[in-house]
A and B are shown apart, each in its own frame.
Chain A
């Protein structure tokens, strides 16, 4: 039975969803995190973090191979029982909801700080929810197309950063590894947060048209994420003096403020507005996945009702309270801890369980 036959996504869409969710606000924050962790060798940390993530992601694909026509929830229900599936559905729904909420709050805060200072934050947040609903209600396939569109529309980003080229000092990248390898190793876990989102593989897998290309797809997705991060990290390290790197918030945006073009002012404002396409990848797919898990829990095929409830709840809640910048960073810290559990540790445990399960059953069957 092919449950999701009418909602297939191409490999390209699969790649873009995974890297889109990861890149979103990592692109803005990661240079500083890397610098704080390992100084100007932070880019090495990035490569190591990316390799780890790729491995974790391949583990998920490996586990999902046992269930080509169902999501991780179906897999759990089959192998561990219906109620384990239901419990996982609730947990993952909460996780993705929190993921999406952190993303949307962060974006709102950036917009509030840089462009719409006088507009109340809840207004901005609620306005962001409207397109989120329009896209997310269409299901995985529409999300896939949206991911393709938003990545395509963002190809200009490297070009706009080329304008800061003349302000760069490449000597800042030297010396490589000034304090040895230890700070580099220690900083690797701090990058995991900015790769989160690949857990969505476990839900996208059954929708994927060419399942044999899944492993290739996740590798491509991680490579895209890595190259985007490497680009912005190296550029920031060459642009800012070492003293500045720890003092300035949102380096990527700040960097564009130094740009002077004869025909447009406040390039960073323009950048934020257009970058919302990428930002939105950090909340639209997670909102949808959250709704998906919830409707799976309730045994409903249509996720639109749960999506409406989730989004309306977010809107009402935001009317009363929108976290500040520092709170949003704290939320990020919590998300990091949860994310490492859910997306890095859990898949490994799951794969171990599945292997064990097969081994035990394989031994039993001949008798």
Chain B
């Protein structure tokens, strides 16, 4: 009897600390931010934006706010004054940075520190660069689109699944910013007729905005990064000599089944050399000309390969001219030519600009489709 009483006493006593569930947050008391944004005012002060879904039967489905604040955390404090519940950043899915913020704020990446330092914050939100003022994006209500967070998430996901855009998460950006052998890249969006993805923004080692890639170029970039999703599609032009037709009937579309990329590296004559071999195994999904693929398969494959090689070469040329390396050739250089790489590691972009990149492409048709 006494033993049971004692055990009960201990059990009751240990219930004491449990009453202190200090970390409990009720959903009703939380304002969950789904999209965060950073912009700068005319006089270069940072502005925090947020979009919070509204669960009550209000007219609008989400609440969008902006405040001027020195840091992200200070901005949250100010945002708290507007929200019904306490501001909560745990569910942020997208972080939008305005192009001006990235261009004109030196070392802007430090404003992201709160996401990495505070253990409560996620590091998985997608980071996008918005070409324009964030006012445009956050206070934009497309009649034909769902609310802002869902719209952004859906667009990024569908485009990146088709490899037409990148889906850089905050952690991925952190890795790239801390990587000597690769430069960062982000999804770039704007509002033209409606919100749309423009392509990929290229940043240099310091995070400064350098240039952008269109969506077709992004596909090529993702091929070189070995990061293609399921299958990628290309629409290519065959030479008139092969198709026998003239003008607009030369187009052929292929959809890849397998993509194999091999990147070799060497160092000679004071510069790095990279030989890239891309092998596509693809099926033909569209053909406008009357070219007989049974008879001329080999020629058609070669023509496609040549066309693709030109595209890859144009892309590499553009990257080298801008001295950015989103592909990560520097990672190969470090892995295989460490001593050489060590000499240029503080400015790999420059070294990559002078590197010699050879591209070989081969295409093999696996399937010509259900009609001749």
Which A residues fall within an 8 A CB radius of B?
A: 113-120, 123, 126-127, 130, 167, 169, 171-172, 174-175, 178, 240-244, 247-248, 254, 257-260, 265-266
Contacts and interface: CB of A to CB of B under 8 A. Distances in A.
Given A118-B22, A169-B331, A175-B338, A241 B169 contact: no
Contacts of B122: 257, 265-266
B17 A115 contact: no
B22 A116 contact: yes
A247 B178 contact: yes
Given A113-B119, A175-B335, A241 B20 contact: no
Nearest to B182: A241
A242 B14 contact: no
B178 A258 contact: no
B281 interface: no
Contacts of A171: 331-332, 334-335
Contacts of B332: 171
B137 to A, nearest CB: 23
Contacts of A241: 175-176, 178-179, 182
A127 B119 contact: no
Given A175-B334, A259-B124, 9 more contacts: A115-B119, A119-B23, A130-B14, A167-B171, A167-B172, A175-B338, A241-B175, A243-B178, A244-B175
B20 A244 contact: no
B82 interface: no
Given A113-B119, A174-B335, A242-B179, A258 B20 contact: no
14 contacts: A115-B23, A127-B14, A167-B171, A175-B335, A175-B336, A178-B338, A241-B178, A243-B178, A244-B174, A244-B178, A257-B171, A258-B171, A265-B90, A266-B90
A243 B123 CA distance: 17
Interface string B3-41: 000000000001001001111000000000000000000
B142 to A, nearest CB: 26
| 8 pairs of A and B residues whose beta carbons are closest in the complex | A243-B178, A174-B335, A118-B22, A241-B179, A114-B119, A119-B22, A171-B335, A244-B178
A257 B175 contact: no
Given A118-B23, A171-B335, A126 B180 contact: no
A174 B177 CA distance: 20
B175 A240 contact: yes
Interface residues of B, number: 31
Nearest to B123: A257
Contact of A119 (B20, B169, B172): B20
A174 B337 CA distance: 10
B17 A123 contact: yes
B120 interface: yes
A83 B177 CA distance: 61
Given A174-B336, A241-B175, A258-B169, A117 B331 contact: no
Contacts of B21: 119
Contacts of B331: 169, 171-172
Interface string B97-121: 0000000000000000000100110
Contact of B119 (A117, A119, A178): A117
Contacts of B335: 171-172, 174-175
Contacts of B178: 241-244, 247
A258 B168 CA distance: 12
B124 A258 contact: yes
B14 A243 contact: no
B175 A117 contact: no
Interface in B167-191: 169, 171-172, 174-180, 182
Nearest to A179: B338
A113 B119 CA distance: 6
Contact of B124 (A113, A242, A260): A260
Contacts of A118: 22-23
A162 B140 CA distance: 40
B127 to A, nearest CB: 14
Interface string B71-106: 000000000000000000011000000000000000
Contacts of B23: 115-119
Nearest to A114: B119
Nearest to B179: A241
A175 B342 CA distance: 12
Interface string B302-336: 00000000000000000000000000000110111
A113 B178 CA distance: 24
Contacts of A254: 123
B276 to A, nearest CB: 15
B272 to A, nearest CB: 15
A178 B116 CA distance: 30
